[in-house]
Structure 1
């Protein structure tokens, strides 16, 4: 498999049972283990933009001596034979492996074809969020706080996934999640502020929008960005993004002279309670109507992302997806596809 030799390349996600093929794939994880009979093995998880496949390497495999030193996060050119396992899904036997080289571009290699990323332009999403800041956050100290934090973290915010797994777990996923929540929030804060217009103090649209934008800001410290799979930092593992995000917000607020204590308290509470329930990791439960709304929007957006991606990525042969752990292990009905259906234009406003 010389780099200069033109080869038919198959996408990892297109493999079918029993197929032999050459693929480009990113190495996500290398795991060492021992069987019940005390025999060592190595599991390598490879992926492309759509799917992941595990390559079990037993002690007698020719690549066993070197597989443990393969570098996670790099792209490899792999010659494989696939097999479908009812328990583990599609698995691959590695017939030949090497890191990708420059010459592989002649066969269509592009690293970012191997990692999932947001379909939306990150700058458009960020611009959309800034427009909502100016529209809904009228309190000057609060608006300055949100803008300071976004300005200082914009580059990382554009790249970071929202999670290592579960929802929006791809490059740009955190920004996409916050943008999506801000669009939903725009509709709901207008509705509820008008609906309950006799509240005193009034429903605080600014706190809701600020909390939507900053609720997961701690993930910029909880996770270490990597285009294949984000990793938890030491601080992220020990403290978690909720407390880290609250601390970041509090530190910046202290730099803004005259920041209203009541506004900061309500914003901190909405950030601390955005997971909704203690069993979901919330240090406190939502106890203001603004925090309650933020927690519902967050939960809704996360679950809709999980459901939609299951629909998009499902490869089951029947009319239902695999069971979805994040949705109480239910299977989702795929529906009947429309013929000649075109995707909507980019709606990143």
Structure 2
């Protein structure tokens, strides 16, 4: 049996039919109409690695079956899978509802993804433990202790990049690695502030892009819809700041410079400005070196993740040219491979001599 994850299905499926099994959770369904007025369903399926939409036409058995299914039903689907610019398609599809050990194994998640996210979580904790400013250190500790489990379930986005359970952990860990290197190149940057800003920049997504304790369907909340992750992040930072400054240890912070209120304001500015433009939802523009750095580190990781997914999914228009995938701005061109220098002639000659001696 050829079993695929959602991510591997989207990487491998193309114009030629790919016969494979896939286990996935029905996240949602939406009824639409064709131009001829016939109803059809847009079904959203997900697993630990990502999600995809599948159309169920009114004359197909899946249409009636899916109408009766509850959201959260986990299916094992066997089909001939193809993919084009409009998404994933399935022909000759058969399915069964997962139960028992198969269901528990599905909810355990893809082993490779789980291992990567475990390592990324360790990276985040290690960077936070290295923050020297005691106020920012205490704030990060409180966040991880109180909301670590919720953090580890959240996605970095609903689509486009890191749009999977645990995707926020992957995004933040990579941003921290990049921010650390940038601080080495620009030592005038406040490393403690930038690392803490990376930790909290998307913390509102714990409500905007959250997953249940069991399952891979990204839900919706009133807080996420009515406020969005930037206002939620500002509110959370302020709440946690009040809690840590009310603790007994905070009396030792009174003589520290810069003053605690200034530190809080700079951190809030990073959360508020990280989208970089009013048009993209930031209530203010980046006004400090750390805010500029955070904005570009965030944008860089998001864009490179989008490109990685686009190369895997986009149709090849010509040799090395791939069709545009939203929200990237243009068709993609295959990246230039890294230069691999040939061995020095002397080493190559010795290798040939050694081969000759064997014979």
| Both structures adopt the same fold (TM-score exceeding 0.5) | yes
Partner SS state of residue 232, structure 1: coil
The whole-number CA distance in structure 1 between the counterparts of 2:153 and 2:52 is: 24
Alignment equivalent of 2:141, drawn from 138, 147, 168: 147
Q: Cα deviations across residues 202-246 of structure 1 (Å, max 9, x unaligned)? A: x53322221111111111122221553422311101101111011
Q: Is the CA contact (8 Å cut-off) linking 2:278 and 2:285 kept in structure 1?
A: yes
More helix per residue: 1 or 2? Answer: 2
The whole-number CA distance in structure 2 between the counterparts of 1:16 and 1:307 is: 18
- Deviation of 1:45 after TM superposition, in Å, equals 3.7
| Structure 1 residues 153 and 328: CA distance shift in structure 2, 3 A | same
Q: Is the CA contact (8 Å cut-off) linking 1:55 and 1:94 kept in structure 2?
A: no
Q: Is the CA contact (8 Å cut-off) linking 1:48 and 1:116 kept in structure 2?
A: no
Partner SS state of residue 29, structure 1: strand
- Deviation of 1:139 after TM superposition, in Å, equals 2.4
Q: Cα deviations across residues 83-111 of structure 1 (Å, max 9, x unaligned)? A: 55x55244113543321234769xxx745
Q: Is the CA contact (8 Å cut-off) linking 1:142 and 1:210 kept in structure 2?
A: yes
- Deviation of 1:119 after TM superposition, in Å, equals 5.5
Structure 2, unaligned stretches of length 5 or more?
A: 254-259, 341-359
Q: Is the CA contact (8 Å cut-off) linking 1:161 and 1:174 kept in structure 2?
A: yes
The whole-number CA distance in structure 2 between the counterparts of 1:114 and 1:103 is: 15
CA RMSD of aligned residues (A): 3.2
- Deviation of 1:30 after TM superposition, in Å, equals 1.7
| Structure 1 residues 39 and 116: CA distance shift in structure 2, 3 A | farther
Q: Is the CA contact (8 Å cut-off) linking 2:49 and 2:113 kept in structure 1?
A: no
| Structure 1 residues 17 and 121: CA distance shift in structure 2, 3 A | closer
| Structure 1 residues 335 and 90: CA distance shift in structure 2, 3 A | farther
The TM-score with structure 1 as length reference comes to 0.78
| Structure 1 residues 146 and 336: CA distance shift in structure 2, 3 A | closer
1:191-270 paired onto structure 2 within 5 Å: 191-193=185-187, 196=188, 203-226=189-212, 227-255=215-243, 256-257=245-246, 260-270=260-270
Structure 1, unaligned stretches of length 5 or more?
A: 1-7, 197-202, 340-349
The whole-number CA distance in structure 2 between the counterparts of 1:104 and 1:127 is: 29
| Structure 1 residues 161 and 52: CA distance shift in structure 2, 3 A | closer
Alignment size in residue pairs: 318
1:84-103 paired onto structure 2 within 5 Å: 86-93=84-91, 95-102=93-100
- Deviation of 1:247 after TM superposition, in Å, equals 0.4
The TM-score with structure 2 as length reference comes to 0.76
Q: Is the CA contact (8 Å cut-off) linking 1:53 and 1:91 kept in structure 2?
A: no
- Deviation of 1:274 after TM superposition, in Å, equals 0.7
Partner SS state of residue 120, structure 1: helix
Partner SS state of residue 187, structure 1: helix
